[in-house]
Amino acid sequence: MGLLAPESGLLIWMTLAFLVVFFILAKIGFPIILNSMQKRKDYIDSSLDAAKEAEKQLVSLKGDSEAIVAAAQSERVSILKDAAEQREKMIVEARNEAKKQAAEIISTAKAQALVEKEDMVKAAKSELAMLAVEVAEKILRGSLSDKESRRKLSETLMKEITAE
């Protein structure tokens, strides 16, 4: 029956042992436990604050990254538009230059053809004149074989020369 109805001496010693253990724990153990619990609480609070700050930074970075992506996309569109404009400008310039060169080539060819035509006409006239002189020489040799024909021809020539 000792445990259900303890004796008074046992109760005193148990109370005394309890008070000693409680006093030791109150002086040494509880401050250490409370200090480590406070440190743990402070660590958890600082971790929660850091997590909240990290979340704020993440939201801010997400907004910044979205802004950067939007700016990059608008820059890409702008660059592509500028490139298309430059391409069209280069095509127009190339066409104009080709037309200008073609016109120069055509005008040069026309001028060259005109010069060649004039040279051919001159050469033809020269050949025609030479042929005419040769024909005239042959005709005159044949018709001026007698003295009378030569005299008539020289008189006619003299009249023409004096008439001019």
Residue 145: φ, ψ to 5°: -75, -25
For residue 140, the model assigns a pLDDT of 66
For residue 3, the model assigns a pLDDT of 63
Report which residue type is found at 120. Answer: M
Q: What is the pLDDT of residues 33-53, one digit of tens each?
A: 899 999 999 999 999 999 999
Q: What is the pLDDT of residues 88-120, one digit of tens each?
A: 999 999 999 999 999 999 999 999 999 999 999
Interatomic CA distance for residues 25 and 18, integer angstroms: 10
Interatomic CA distance for residues 118 and 99, integer angstroms: 28
Sequence-distant (≥ 6) Cβ neighbours of residue 144 within 8 angstroms: 150, 153
Residue 7: φ, ψ to 5°: -80, 160
